[in-house]
Amino acid sequence: MFRMTIAAVCVWAMSCAARADDPAVRAGIDLTLRQMEAAAEAGDRDGWLAAVAHGDPEWTKEQTYFANDLKKKPAADLMLSLGELAVTDGAATGDLTFAWTMPEKGERTVAFGARFVLEDGQWRYAGETWEKHEAAGVVVLCDPGLDELAGRVVEAFTNVRSKVDSFFGHDGTGFTSRTQKIKLYRSMKHLQQSICLSYEDSLGGWNEPDESIKLLSNARTGLKALERLLAHEYGHVATFAVGPKANDVMPWWVLEGVAELSAEANSGQRGPEGRVESWARMGNLAEWKELADFETFDKRWYGHVYTQGHHMLKYIDSRWKQEGRNKWLRSMGQGKSIDEASREVFGLSFEELNTDWRATLPAKEEAKPVEPKKEESRSGG
Ligand SMILES: [Zn+2]
Structure confidence by residue, pLDDT tens digits, 241-256: 999 999 999 999 999 9
Tell which of 113, 128, 143 closes a domain.
128
pLDDT at residue 19 in the model: 60
Residue 293 has pLDDT above 80, yes or no: yes
- Residue 89 Cα to ligand 1 middle (Å): 39
- Ligand 1 center to residue 237 CA distance, Å? 10
Inform me whether the pLDDT recorded for 2 exceeds 90. no
Query: Is 229 inside a domain boundary?
Result: no
Domain count, the chain: 2
How many angstroms separate the alpha carbon of residue 95 from the centre of ligand 1?
30
- 336: CA distance to ligand 1 center in Å? 22
**Any domain includes 148:** no
Residue 89's pLDDT is 78
Helix, strand, coil % (nearest 5) of the chain?
A: 50, 15, 30
For residue 237, being part of any structural domain is answered with no
Integer CA distances (angstroms), 366 to 247, 279, 282, 370, 373, in order? 39, 13, 8, 12, 20
Q: Is the CB of residue 286 less than 8 Å from the CB of residue 304?
A: yes
- Residue list, CB under 5 A from ion ligand 1: 256, 259
pLDDT interval class at 145 (50, 70, 90): very high
CA of 291 to the centre of ligand 1 (A): 13
- Between the CA of 274 and the centroid of ligand 1 the distance, in Å, is 20
What's the confidence (pLDDT) of residue 171?
Answer: 80
Residue 258 lies in a domain: yes
**Per-residue model confidence as pLDDT tens digits over 24-55:** 999 999 999 999 999 999 999 999 999 999 99
> For residue 207, how far is its CA from the centre of ligand 1 (angstroms)?
7
Distance of CA 126 to the CA centre of its chain: 18
The pLDDT of residue 177 is: 79
Specify the pLDDT at position 61: 96
Q: Which residue has the higher pLDDT, 237 or 10?
A: 237
For all residues of the chain together, what is the average pLDDT?
91
Task: Give percent of the chain with pLDDT exceeding 90.
Answer: 86
Averaged pLDDT, 348-362: 98
Per-residue pLDDT at 374 exceeds 70: no
Domain that holds residue 123: 11-128
Q: What confidence score (pLDDT) does residue 372 get?
A: 58
Query: Which pLDDT does position 378 carry in this prediction?
Result: 39
Confidence of residue 100 (pLDDT cuts 50, 70, 90): very high
Q: Is residue 74 part of a domain?
A: yes
pLDDT for 376? 42
Q: Mark which of 88, 106, 128 sits at the end of a domain.
A: 128
Q: Calculate the CA 143 to chain-centre distance.
A: 18
What is the 379 CA–ligand 1 centroid distance (Å)?
Answer: 41
- Return the pLDDT at 310: 98
| Cα 192 to Cα 103, 214, 235, distances in angstroms | 17, 10, 20
CATH of the domain at 107: 3.10.450.50
Q: Is the pLDDT of residue 10 over 80?
A: no
Question: How far, in Å, from the CA of 286 to the mean position of ligand 1?
Answer: 18
Strands (DSSP E) found in the chain: 77-82, 86-88, 91-101, 107-119, 122-128, 131-135, 138-142, 180-185, 205-206, 213-216
Domain end marker among 95, 128, 161: 128
Whether the per-residue pLDDT at 3 is higher than 60: the answer is: no
Higher pLDDT residue, 6 or 284?
284
Return the higher-pLDDT residue of 164 and 9.
164
Question: How much is the average pLDDT of 163-177?
Answer: 85
* Spacing, Cα 100 to ligand 1 middle (Å): 26
Residue type, 115: R
Q: Kindly indicate the confidence band of residue 341, based on its pLDDT and cuts at 50, 70 and 90.
A: very high
Q: Calculate mean pLDDT across residues 64-78.
A: 98
**pTM, to two decimals:** 0.88
Task: Give the span between the Cα atoms of 36 and 30, in whole angstroms.
Answer: 10
Q: Confidence band (pLDDT; 50, 70, 90) for 155?
A: very high
Distance 232 CA to ligand 1 centre (A): 6
- Rounded CA-CA distance 315/74 in Å is 41
